[in-house]
Chain A
Amino acid sequence: MQLNSNVPDGPLESKWDDYKAHLKLVNPANKRKYHVIVVGTGLAGASAAASLAELGYKVTAFTYHDSPRRAHSIAAQGGINAAKNYQNDGDSVYRLFYDTVKGGDFRAREANVYRLAQVSVNIIDQCVAQGVPFAREYGGYLANRSFGGAQVSRTFYARGQTGQQLLLGAYQALERQIGLGSVKMHCKNEMLDLVIVDGRARGIVSRDLVTGAISTHMADAVLMCTGGYGNVFYLSTNAKACNVTAAFRAYKRGAAFGNPCYTQIHPTCIPVSGDYQSKLTLMSESLRNDGRIWVPKQKGDTRPPDQIPEGERDYYLERKYPSYGNLSPRDIASRAAKEACDAGRGVGPGGKGVYLDFADAIERLGIEVVRDRYSNLFEMYERITGEDPYKVPMRIYPAVHYTMGGLWVDYDLMSSIPGLFVLGEANFSDHGANRLGASALMQGLADGYFVVPYTLGGYLAKGGFDKVSAEGPEAKAARVASQEKVQRLLAIKGKRTPASFHRELGKIMWDYCGMARNEAGLKKALELIPALRAEFWSNLSIPGTGEELNQTLEHALRVADFMEFAELMCLDALHRNESAGGHFREEYQTEDGEALRNDEDFCYVAAWEYAGESTRPILHKEPLTFESVELATRSYK
């Protein structure tokens, strides 16, 4: 496998404009002759499907939800970054680019990130035109707030429901195209495999979740916008159905997987309350604008928070990182919380929590202002915990939230399989080893609205697409393989449920490949995972059949892929002998416990190529070269 990032030549600032200006084009009358499959209809997928249909391409889209409006992009709370500099506070495309590269601990591809910062401004304009009800100032102009990892105010928001409003904007644009007949939408349909003909991605195998029918769909190109794999940990802030299956199937068909070990642990989530816990809930990072994070100075201090005097509290983020304080980047804030709890200073049941306290904000701003800013989040917290955060500080703890790793893509967002494009969280490209807050929405929409409509055209314009049929040998083989897999799972008839295996796998991953990792732990995980997988394939129980709505079977199919994928993650984490962003290896830290990068040996993208069932995957390295920024040790002090 030869990986070429295809980053165009020329100065960073003009690469994208020059490249667009010279891309081959498809004649408007010819666009309808090209058929594109879009898998996943969250921010990236819905925006891409709508934009491509507007251009005139024939689009077929798939989602496992009952409607495209359910995708988990909808749960993003805080906001979306854009280098508008409406606040006159010194923001610029370069500064957003630099903050993103630095926030990613210098492990992202420079040219992609610059392009992201450039198109960020167009995203806001597009969304406003669609009627996204962004927050406004009294004069009627767009409002901004601050987010972690930045010293300017560049985050646009719609209350605490920014992801919902942006997704509904893209969803409405998509529904408009469905109504016009330019997009054929398949809801409750899950991709199970990729079909490759003559070395190019030409179709997918999907399962109708209501009837169980497995069928093949063919096209000229496939866009995968299938989100992240945080649910490999079982407990995460992801929605229950989020999974790695589409991406992992593409990997097994030859797409390189980039940096699978880079996972983001979000510092402000509601702590686990019991074994029955099914998911974790995020409390928006925007709360850190006004909330102060602290733990008692004394180990094992069990007094209620209001009885701990100011002098006996440790506002550890403000102490350790005075210039960013409570708005330190997510990886840093998460590790600091873990450190405090590991030292026995955690609060709440089991000592797995720290306080996020609004008492000062309420005193400074008044309860009404705090209510105006955060009421929906405060209500959600109270609903889940039964505690009122206006009176008692919130208890929070880090939880798995986002995966920076994903399928490797080049500058065109095309994977190592020609014709397979990967957008949004499913690709690896823009966030390096750590994503800044309010950047996921930006990336998903950048890819879908403003990047792929150009680069896909460039690919299709090259032509050479022979007619392919769903009854061709490759399509048929892929379909039969998926059908056999379903039958194999149903035939095990063992004693354990998919959920119990998933929970056990998640515990292994959290313990050994979670917030802090070390060589011995990762090696242990690499022994435990295959053993658990073997038990999965011999002791799984799925009631019902494959020819009906069977949610247990759906879960089993997803867990089966997590079982294999988990190993790849651990391998990647084990090979990366450095700490970078969300990947913290205990062996590699500075004297004061900060991540210690090794630019000499690890300034590259680790792209893994599948090499067969029992063979170690092949590691390819895409060196990261930085022309416009200097590699520096991140400091938020």
Chain B
Amino acid sequence: MQLRLHIWRQAGPSAEGMLKTYDIGNVSEHMSFLEMLDVLNEELMLKGEEPVAFDHDCREGICGTCGMVINGRPHGPASRTTACQLHMRSFKDGDEIYIEPWRASAFPVVKDLVVDRTSLDRIIQKGGFVSVNTGNALDGNTLPVSKIDADLAMDAASCIGCGACVAACPNASAMLFTAAKIGHLGMLPQGQAERSTRAMRMVLHMDAEGFGGCSNQYECEAACPKGISVDWIARMNRDFVKSSVVGRE
């Protein structure tokens, strides 16, 4: 198929960006979206032009490296699908496709479609862990965890940290990301000792990084390639309020 692409080009963090238009032919429906961009980049390079910079790595939907807004939707039109797992059979001959980076002040653009998401790591640093040094552990079966709780924890833990929730949110909030980690650890007995301080510190740091608040649009859940539920945000809010009232920090 033949496509017209409008791609955000920006030389560096402080440079001005703009959409540039490229025509591409011979796109097979079996190609992944990123393979289509690979083909475009090879063509650009042979013409002596700079290829489009975009982040990607595993190309199987689990590392969370890739991320771009495709026709206004983070990771594109297919639900529960990362950009790398989106295939061209989701498009048809003659389509025009707009490709832009994640837009959020906490995710500054590095170049073209590449953004800096280290703010998410810094949220984790404030409490997204269980403080257990190597060697401390008891036998794994000394602490039974109900299958239901373990499965729910796993639902939350399947977040890949791609940042699509932030890109989808009109307030550029990282609530779903933060809530997923607080929820994962809070569902498990191992996470109880730090449950209160974790919620307080992570939420405050989320604000400090410049992410916005939640106004219940639920765009995050719709954009999440792993289908993480907004219920986790409600749970995080409970932990946060409880921590504000009874917390000792």
The answer on a CB contact under 8 Å between A281 and B129 is no
The answer on a CB contact under 8 Å between B140 and A124 is yes
The answer on a CB contact under 8 Å between A128 and B137 is yes
Partner of B150, one of A70, A129, A130, A136: A136
The answer on a CB contact under 8 Å between A453 and B134 is yes
A129 CA / B140 CA spacing, docked (Å): 7
The answer on a CB contact under 8 Å between B111 and A72 is no
Interface residues of A in 281-303 (CB under 8 A from B): 281-282
Partner of B146, one of A136, A142, A178, A497: A136
B64 in the interface, Cβ–Cβ < 8 Å?
yes
The answer on a CB contact under 8 Å between B129 and A172 is yes
A65 in the interface, Cβ–Cβ < 8 Å?
yes
Closest to B28 in A: A274
Contact bitstring B127-171, A, C-beta under 8 A = 1, else 0: 011111111111111011111001101100110110000000000
Closest to A176 in B: B129
B224 in the interface, Cβ–Cβ < 8 Å?
no
* Chain B contact patch, size range: 35 or more
The answer on a CB contact under 8 Å between A552 and B45 is yes
Contact bitstring A168-188, B, C-beta under 8 A = 1, else 0: 100111011011000000010
The answer on a CB contact under 8 Å between B136 and A129 is yes
B93 in the interface, Cβ–Cβ < 8 Å?
no
Partner of B64, one of A70, A133, A276: A70
The answer on a CB contact under 8 Å between B34 and A131 is no
Instruction: Report A-chain residues with C-beta under 8 Å of the C-beta of B153.
Output: 131, 133
Instruction: Report A-chain residues with C-beta under 8 Å of the C-beta of B49.
Output: 543
Interface residues of B in 36-91 (CB under 8 A from A): 36, 38-39, 42, 44-46, 48-51, 53, 55-65, 78, 80-81, 85, 87, 89
Closest to A128 in B: B140
B103 in the interface, Cβ–Cβ < 8 Å?
no
* Contact stretch, chosen from B115-123, B213-221, B229-237, B238-246: B115-123
A-B contact count (CB 8 A): 220
B178 in the interface, Cβ–Cβ < 8 Å?
no
A445 CA / B165 CA spacing, docked (Å): 31
A84 in the interface, Cβ–Cβ < 8 Å?
yes
- In the assembled complex, the CB of B114 is this many whole angstroms from the nearest CB of chain A, namely 7
Instruction: Report A-chain residues with C-beta under 8 Å of the C-beta of B59.
Output: 239-240, 278-279, 281
State whether A84 and B140 are in contact (beta carbons under 8 Å apart), knowing that A67-B120, A281-B60 are contacts in the complex: yes
Partner of B143, one of A128, A171, A499: A128
The answer on a CB contact under 8 Å between A276 and B158 is no
Contact bitstring A64-76, B, C-beta under 8 A = 1, else 0: 0111111110110
**A interface residues, how many (CB within 8 angstroms):** 80
- Secondary structure class of chain B's binding surface, majority of residues: loop
The answer on a CB contact under 8 Å between B57 and A383 is no
B9 in the interface, Cβ–Cβ < 8 Å?
no
Closest to A139 in B: B144
A486 in the interface, Cβ–Cβ < 8 Å?
no
A282 CA / B190 CA spacing, docked (Å): 32
The answer on a CB contact under 8 Å between B130 and A131 is yes
Partner of A130, one of B42, B50, B89, B132: B132
A444 CA / B44 CA spacing, docked (Å): 40
Instruction: Report A-chain residues with C-beta under 8 Å of the C-beta of B92.
Output: none
B21 in the interface, Cβ–Cβ < 8 Å?
no
The answer on a CB contact under 8 Å between A131 and B12 is no
The answer on a CB contact under 8 Å between B42 and A133 is no
A379 CA / B85 CA spacing, docked (Å): 11
Contact bitstring A551-582, B, C-beta under 8 A = 1, else 0: 11000000000000000000000000000000
State whether A75 and B58 are in contact (beta carbons under 8 Å apart), knowing that A175-B124, A276-B28, A551-B51 are contacts in the complex: yes
A282 CA / B133 CA spacing, docked (Å): 33
A135 in the interface, Cβ–Cβ < 8 Å?
yes
A241 in the interface, Cβ–Cβ < 8 Å?
yes
A226 CA / B11 CA spacing, docked (Å): 30
- In the assembled complex, the CB of B149 is this many whole angstroms from the nearest CB of chain A, namely 8
Interface residues of A in 164-211 (CB under 8 A from B): 164-165, 168, 171-173, 175-176, 178-179, 187, 210
The answer on a CB contact under 8 Å between A380 and B85 is yes
- In the assembled complex, the CB of A195 is this many whole angstroms from the nearest CB of chain B, namely 27
Q: Which 4 A-B pairs have the closest CB atoms?
A: A140-B144, A179-B125, A172-B129, A129-B137
Q: Could you tell me which A residues sit within 8 Å of B by CB distance?
A: 47, 50-51, 54, 65-72, 74-75, 84, 86, 122, 124-131, 133-142, 158-159, 161, 164-165, 168, 171-173, 175-176, 178-179, 187, 210, 239-241, 273-274, 276-279, 281-282, 379-380, 383-384, 386, 449-450, 453, 495, 497, 499-500, 541, 543-544, 548-549, 551-552
Q: Could you tell me which B residues sit within 8 Å of A by CB distance?
A: 11-12, 28-32, 34-36, 38-39, 42, 44-46, 48-51, 53, 55-65, 78, 80-81, 85, 87, 89, 110-111, 114, 116-118, 120-121, 124-126, 128-141, 143-147, 150-151, 153-154, 157-158, 160-161, 184-185, 188, 190-191
